[in-house]
Amino acid sequence: MIRFSGITPSGHATLGNHLGAIRRWAREGGPGDLYFVSDLHGMTSAYHPQRLRVRARELLATLVAAGIEADQVFVQSDLLPQLGTLTWILECTCSFGEAARMTQFKEKSARRELEATPVRVGLFTYPVLMAADILLQGADEVPVGDDQAQHVELARTLARRFNGTFGEAFVVPAAVTPPAAARVRDLANPARKMDKSARDAVGVLYVMDEPDLLRRKIKRAVTDGLGRLEFRPDEQPGLANLLEILAACTGKPARDVPAEYSSYAELKEAVAEAVIEELRPVRERTKELLDDGVELDRIRARGAELAAERSAHRLATARRLAGVG
Ligand code: TYM
């Protein structure tokens, strides 16, 4: 069984990435699993090359710091020749309409148009690159937050279509979404997900934030004037988000949390302590790895080598069946 997933270095890792993805990958990982830093996906909007490089390195360190085995991580661009090849094959399998239906593309391109910034073709085709990531590695399961489930669905469609048209090359992957904290929300604006590429960071908790900063951001989290400590996501989204975060950190159901607190302030203090303790070991280990450049380079090179070896036969089969190899 191969579980496979990735994270894009479009910013520093957030608590949402940690609870919704990285922590789960580390806890539930099996010997066949593979996780990666999708730096190629970080190029779909204006970006700074040096920053992309540094963040990719930081995220690689964070994956290992969170407990994922060092020989089960790699950086996507280290497999650029293989992925470029497979992306083209899959682009010629995917219809324009299918790509245009992707909610994330629709949202992001609408935002860019409002801001009068160009929408890159890479933003449009990136779900196909994501399908190439998944299908190249023969993933059986792709654990993702619910924001990525539609992209995994596209990978399933393309795998089935390729297999049906040209012959069996790919495993049809399944998306797996975590039961708790599938979507951690921005503390300042609970209508939005907590996003590492958000421009305004007041409501975003980063894995690398120092405890004091985490505490301050949580204290300022938007709640409501109702003063009712209950788990009601529709009526009290800000409060529900805090309850879900605390639940995810403590392992208790979010519905059971309110009974333990008598005020929003008391709850926020508990959330802050839980988040600080949850992130502390990851932050400290990430720093250690970043300080040990030789070890991190070794992990990266080995990861790339293993991921390339694991996928070579699948790419060769796909090329042969597609008539280009
Ligand atoms: P990315 O970098 O946006 O997010 C990485 C993972 O974190 C989850 N996530 C969240 N979970 C809970 N609450 C949040 N606020 C939150 N924000 C993000 C995401 O669901 C994701 O699981 N395109 C992908 C990376 C990727 C990929 C792949 C994943 C590239 N190729 C192939 C799986 C398979 C992305 O940008 O994730």
Instruction: Give span(s): CATH 3.40.50.620, the chain.
Output: 4-181+293-322
Number of the ligand 1 atom closest to the C-alpha atom of 145 = 20
pLDDT digits (tens, 9 = 90+) for 109-159: 998 888 888 899 999 999 999 999 999 999 999 988 778 899 999 999 999
108 is catalytic: yes
Residue 164 has pLDDT above 70, yes or no: yes
Span of 18-27, 171-180, 289-298 with lowest mean pLDDT: 171-180
Ligand 1 site, residue 11, Cβ cutoff 6 A: no
How high is the pLDDT of residue 168? 98
Ligand 1 site, residue 144, Cβ cutoff 6 A: yes
Q: Which residues contact 308 (CB under 8 A, 6 or more apart)?
A: 78, 79, 82
217 is catalytic: no
Question: pLDDT class for 212, splitting at 50, 70, 90?
Answer: very high
pLDDT digits (tens, 9 = 90+) for 236-247: 999 999 999 999
How high is the pLDDT of residue 116? 83
Question: What integer is the mean pLDDT of 194-214?
Answer: 94
Instruction: Give span(s): CATH 1.10.240.10, the chain.
Output: 211-287
pLDDT digits (tens, 9 = 90+) for 46-87: 899 999 999 999 999 999 999 999 999 999 999 999 999 999
Residue among 73, 76, 140, 148 to mutate when testing ligand 1 (max atoms within 8 A of CB) = 148
Question: What integer is the mean pLDDT of 94-119?
Answer: 91
Residue 181 has pLDDT above 60, yes or no: no
Ligand 1 site, residue 16, Cβ cutoff 6 A: yes
Question: What integer is the mean pLDDT of 207-218?
Answer: 98
Question: What integer is the mean pLDDT of 307-321?
Answer: 97
196 is catalytic: yes
Domain at 211-287: CATH code? 1.10.240.10
Task: Indicate the average pLDDT of the chain.
Answer: 94
Longest dimension (CA), the chain: 67
Q: Whose CA is nearest to atom 1 of ligand 1?
A: 7
Question: pLDDT class for 199, splitting at 50, 70, 90?
Answer: confident
Would you tell me which CATH number, out of the four given (3.40.50.620, 3.40.50.300, 3.90.1150.10, 3.40.50.1100), belongs to the domain 4-181+293-322? 3.40.50.620
User: What does the angle CA 25 – CA 31 – CA 33 come to, to the nearest 5 degrees?
Assistant: 45
Question: What integer is the mean pLDDT of 200-229?
Answer: 96
DSSP per-residue letters across 40-76: GGGGSSS--HHHHHHHHHHHHHHHHHTT--GGGEEEG
Ligand 1 site, residue 193, Cβ cutoff 6 A: yes
How high is the pLDDT of residue 103? 93
DSSP per-residue letters across 197-243: T-S--TT--BTT--HHHHHHHHHT----SS------TTT-HHHHHHH
